[in-house]
Amino acid sequence: MEFKAKEIADILNGTVDGNPEAVVKTFARIESGKPGAICFFANPKYEQYVYTCKADVIIVNKTFEPKEPVSATLVRVDDAYSAVAALLDYVTAKKRSYKRYRGCRSRVRWSAKLGKKVYVGDFAYVGKNAEVGDYTKIYENVYVGDGVKIGSHCIIYPGVRIYPGMVIGNNVIIHANAVVGSDGFGFAPQENGTWKKIEHTGNVVIEDDVEIGANVCIDKSQMGSTVVGKGVKIDNLCQIAHNVEVGENTVMAAQTGVAGSAKIGRHCIIAGQVGIAGHISIADNTTIGAQSGIMGKVKEEGQTLMGSPAFPLKDFLRSYAVFKRAGK
């Protein structure tokens, strides 16, 4: 990677404030920027580092007005946080090469259909009648079951297990050791005190532009489909149970657990270690604070909830103030 400040500005539709010929070769955090690096400044808490940073280029918002001299060249953009994401994506795309490859120790069943320039690493398995779209990369030690459909431009990292009959859209990233399509947790109590397994005959449908973190488990449905909507981002170590529906562009942080048949709306933000009860629905644009428990239906859109059981954030903060006083 090597870019001049003026090239970066062109990529990001920004403007240069300083030396347009400044050259950068690597990315760095603004706290530790060094010569030859590019950093970004978006959070006001880090403004002090703008004046001490040794990086050659810093991406900032157009509205930023320095209070002290800045040695670095500034590339001004509408949204610095989004701009650095776009630049990282641009750099990664330039490095990415597509070539057809099949590891000599992989196994692709004869009835499987692979698109153009599909990569299949060593010890990967692609089952009968599976379909894999163009430019998808299946890393080493991946299991793709019979009848699985995977779209184009996907990345399936090592150790992923995709059970038979699952459906994966385009531009999906699944990180290491995630499991897609395991049986849901369904058992019927018997009179003698034992539990009889309830067979799960459905599947999982993961729509386009989804990213799934490492060690995530998404269970297939009893009937029908467990659905992860377009643009959803799921962090590491999350559990999505059978028949759950996650709406478009919802994000979910680590160690969140969603019980069976819950329906989560679109554009929701779910923080770490949230627990969501089964058979409930959550309205669009809901934000749920860390370690909260959602035990009932959330009807009103746009709320921020906190606590267990969760309730509106303002009420939670007032209640917490009372709790603190009561403990003294």
For the CA atoms of the chain, what is the radius of gyration?
24
DSSP for residue 324: H
Average pLDDT over every residue of 92-114: 87
Q: What is the DSSP letter of 198?
A: P
Q: Could you tell me if 215 and 306 lie in one domain?
A: yes
Nearest to 286 by CA among 315, 310, 317, 320: 310
Of the residues 55, 74, 95, which one is the last residue of a structural domain?
95
Joined together, the tokens standing for residue 250 give 């919802």
- Peptide bond preceding 309 in cis form (omega within 30 of 0): yes
Residues 198 and 70 in one domain: no
pLDDT at 88 over 80: yes
Is 242 known to be catalytic?
A: yes
pLDDT number for residue 327 = 61
User: CB–CB of 23/35 below 8 Å?
Assistant: no
Q: Are residues 312 and 186 in the same domain?
A: yes
pLDDT band at 148 (very low <50, low <70, confident <90, very high): very high
Q: Are strands 195-197 and 187-189 parallel, antiparallel or unpaired?
A: antiparallel
Determine the pLDDT at residue 77: 97
> Closest by alpha carbon to 243, among 218, 227, 226, 229?
226
313 in a structural domain: yes
Q: Domain count for the chain, please give it.
A: 2
Side-chain-facing half-sphere of 276: CA atoms under 13 Å: 36
Q: Which helix (H) or strand (E) holds 199?
A: none
Structural domain for 55, as ranges: 3-95
Average the pLDDT over 261-268 and give the result. Answer: 98
Specify the pLDDT at position 325: 78
pLDDT tens figures, 3-56 = 999 999 999 999 999 999 999 999 999 999 999 999 999 999 999 999 999 999
Q: In this predicted structure, what is the pLDDT of residue 317? A: 84
CATH number at residue 269: 2.160.10.10
User: Is 69 domain-assigned?
Assistant: yes
Average pLDDT, the chain: 95
Q: Do the Cβ atoms of 224 and 205 come closer than 8 Å? A: no
Q: If you average pLDDT over residues 158-183, what whole number do you get? A: 98
Q: Does residue 90 sit in the same domain as residue 186?
A: no
Catalytic residue among 153, 175, 200, 242: 242
> Residues 187, 310: one domain?
yes
| pLDDT given for residue 256 in this prediction | 98
pLDDT of residue 316: 86
Q: Which residue, 64, 95, 126, sits at the end of a domain?
A: 95
State yes or no: pLDDT of 328 exceeds 90.
Answer: no
Sorting pLDDT into bands at 50, 70 and 90, what band is 322? confident
pLDDT at 94 over 90: no
